[in-house]
Structure 1
Amino acid sequence: MAWTLLLIAALLEPVWALALERSDGFRHLGFSVLGVTVATASLTLLTFALRDLPIGTAYAVWV
């Protein structure tokens, strides 16, 4: 289960990075909301995955 959460978090990571880039300094509300929401989800899933996985391994996969 931890690996599944980690893989989902890793897939969400570039989504929020691109959304925040497209938000143009938080000027575009839709991309801003998407970026913050997906970033929160990605970090939350990473946190849950870290309960069962070593931090070094999890971070290497997440990034």
Structure 2
Amino acid sequence: MNPWAALVIGGLCEVGFTTSLRYVDGFRNVPWVAAFLVAVTCSMGLLEYAGRSIPLGTAYAVWAGIGAAGTALVGIAVYGDPASVPRLLLLTGLIGCIVGLKALA
């Protein structure tokens, strides 16, 4: 698997595990705990795989940025989090930084 593809998929899995945390209910909701554990395992495993070929600082920044931006966008789209112009501009800047890191790597 291409390391960059693995990194993007790992970042998307991070969105899965952060979203799952909303429903684990103190780790008593077994299906959501299972979803969390699968997503966090995939996310970390793909980050580790990508980090073998991509400089670790770059890989971590991109992974975390995808997770942060993706989680924020899920919050806006699904949970009614605020979608103010400044917030959307900052998310756009974050995504721009992720693209910039990829371009420089």
Confirm or deny a common fold (TM above 0.5).
Answer: yes
Detail structure 1 runs of 4+ shifted over 4 Å in the superposition.
Answer: none
**RCO comparison, higher one (Cα < 8 Å, 6+):** 1
**Counterpart code for 1:30:** P
Secondary structure of 2:22's aligned partner:
helix
1:8 alignment counterpart: 9
* Counterpart Cα distance in 2 of 1:20 and 1:32: 8
Equivalences for residues 19-34 of structure 1 within 5 A: 19-34=20-35
Consecutive unaligned residues of structure 2, counting only runs of 5 or more, are 65-105
TM-score by length of 2: 0.58
Match of 1:53 in 2: 54
The aligned amino acid for 1:53 is I
TM-score, scaled relative to structure 1: 0.94
Structure possessing the higher radius of gyration over alpha carbons: 2
Shift of residue 56, structure 1, vs aligned partner: 0.9
Partner-residue secondary structure (3-state), 1:51: coil
CA RMSD between the two structures = 0.7
Percent of residue pairs identical: 38
